[in-house]
Structure formats: C-alpha cells, structure tokens
Amino acid sequence: MNSRTRNVSLLILAALFLLAVGTTGYHLLEGWALDEAFYMTVITMSTVGFSEVHPLSATGRMLTVGLIFSGIGVIGIAATSLTAMLVSGEIRQLLRDRRMERKIQRMNGHTILCGYGRIGREIAREFLRGHHPLVVVDSSRASLADAREAGHMVIEGDATEEEVLLRANVAHAKGLVAALPRDSDNVYITLTAREYNRELQIAARSLDPGSEHRLLKAGANRVVNPYVIGGKRLAAVMLHPEIMDFLDLSMQQDPEGFSLRHLTVGSGSKLKDRTLAELDLRRIGRGVMVLGISRPTGAERSMVIPTADTALAQNDTLILLGNQSMYQALEAEGIVSR
C-alpha cells in the first residue's frame, strides 16, 4: 500500500472514529436514542444544515462545534487525496492491482520472486523467456512499475511479512526465490515460506558465506552467492571458453535452438526400471540426447554417465539436450510434460 492510499485509509478510520464519538456523546450527554444520536452526528459532520433532532444543552453544542470542525477537516483532506489519486491514475492502478491479486490467488505451480533489483530483474527475464508463471514481490513502486511493464504479475509489499507472502499465494506456489539484498531478510522469508508450504522449492541469495548454513537450516533448497558464482564463471570463461559458449547456447530459451531440459522419473513413469536402449529416446525424440543422469545417493546426488544398458530408477533425473521439435515429440509420447 503506497503512502497516499494509506493516508486515505487513515482518514476513513478517523471519520469512523468521529462517528463513534459523536453518536456516543449525544447518547450519553443528551440522552438520545442511538439512531437519533447517529443521525445527528452524520448531519453535523457533513454540514448539510438540517435542524437539530432535539434542542441541545450547552455541552451538546460544544460537542457539535467539535464535530463540525473535525468533520470539515477530515472530509476536506480525504476529498483532496481522492482527487489527487483520480488525477494521477492511482485509483485505476489500485483496481488493476486488486484484479491481479484475485488472479494470483487462483494460480497454482507458480514461482514467487522476492526482490526486483539488479539480480531479480535478470531472474525475472529468464522466467519470461521460458514462459514460466512468476509473481514479483517488492516494496518499491518504481521497481514494480518496471516489472508490470515487462509483463510480470506483481504484489506490492514487504516480502518479510507473512501477509504479503500469502497475497502472493505461497501455499500453492511451486518455487520461491529470496533475492533481497540483506541475508537476514532472506532467512526470514525462507522460514515463513517453508512454514506455509513444505514442498516449496526455495532458492536464496546470500552475500555472507556464513549465512549459507542459516539459509539451508531455515529451509532453503539452494543457496547462491552471486560473488562466488560470478568468480567461478569468469575463471571458466578464461579456462574453458568453448565449453562455456556451449553451455550459454544450451541455456538460452530460443525455440529454434538447442536447450537443456531435465526429466525426473516418477513412481508411475513409463521410464522406470527400463534401460535407455529399451526406451530408445533418441529415436522417439528425433535426435534428443541424454547427456547425464542425476541419481540420489543418500542426502546427495551423483552424476551417472549414461550407457545403452543404464536402467532408470525412481527419482533419477535425466539431463536432455534437444530443440523444441524434439521435446514436442517426447511430449506427444507422454514422456515429458510441457
């Protein structure tokens, strides 16, 4: 909620408070019925000029004077604020935001991005390229305006507050990225999100190496230090430029080019307990390649170099390389999902 909207809300609360004070005052001081006291308060605050319900005592007149001045002040300030909101288009934006929040509450399997700074913008750009549903949460109106313009759904508010995460429908989300500048905020977001969704995949940004343990303990599945990742990438570009060029090309969301995708073997999957030779994914997928298999080994995962007689087990994850038409061929066979 921005400052102008918050001020209007406070003015509405002030008007309700004056209504309560006036109604109670006339009821106690003048002995009027509650409906008469309420009616007198309304016509006094609105200064419409109707006559008194009953003759007033001296104390009642003083109460009336106070209500007149208070009512004029509250109504005048509220009218000024509402006019400014109308002129600036804030009310239209507020209504659009309400419609967007209702749509977000109906979403399922989306990802929540907390923080739309320099790193957050790159994250959002990748989700947009891949057509993955994303909800951006940020307290900066300027950042959210940029996010809206880029085509993202947004929630304005502090992501460390439970109410804001609930507005982003964290209970039905698939993933959450905690990308705020402060590690302590990302720890709190992770704790709160994990409380509402035990299956949520959480990736958190960390600048302090000592925060990684706290984030993992709070419930993050992955912790990324942008300085560490950036340093490793710069070194890899110098040491293995051809490999990095290949990885860059394979990670692009270009429908016409090659890209990497993963495929996890579920309990009811047709891939379970079958070898790669039996599945013949290269033929079905019109040339798709299985580059590797990530296999759970206790709490960790190990990478298996696939051969024709490699049998697939539940929870194995295949790393595939192919283009859009190859993946569509696998989708037609019910092997991968969209």
Token pair recorded at residue 293: 């298999």
Task: Please name the residue that has the structure tokens 């051969």.
Answer: 307
Cα torsion angle, 138, 144, 147, 151, sign:
positive
In CATH terms, the fold of domain 107-229 is: Rossmann fold (3.40.50)
- pLDDT score, position 322: 87
Question: Strand 111-114's sheet: what is its strand order?
Answer: 153-156, 134-138, 111-114, 175-178, 201-205, 222-224
CATH architecture of 3-88: Orthogonal Bundle (1.10)
Question: What are the structural domain ranges in the chain?
Answer: 3-88, 107-229, 250-332
Q: What is the mean pLDDT of each run of 10 residues along the chain (338 residues)?
A: 65 86 90 90 79 83 87 79 66 78 94 96 91 94 92 94 96 97 96 96 94 94 94 93 84 71 85 89 87 81 85 90 86 74
CATH code for residues 250-332: 3.30.70.1450
- pLDDT score, position 89: 58
- pLDDT score, position 224: 95
- pLDDT score, position 253: 63
The two beta strands, 201-205 and 175-178, are parallel
Distance CA 282, CA 72 (A): 78
Say what the pTM is.
Answer: 0.66
- pLDDT score, position 69: 86
- pLDDT score, position 256: 65
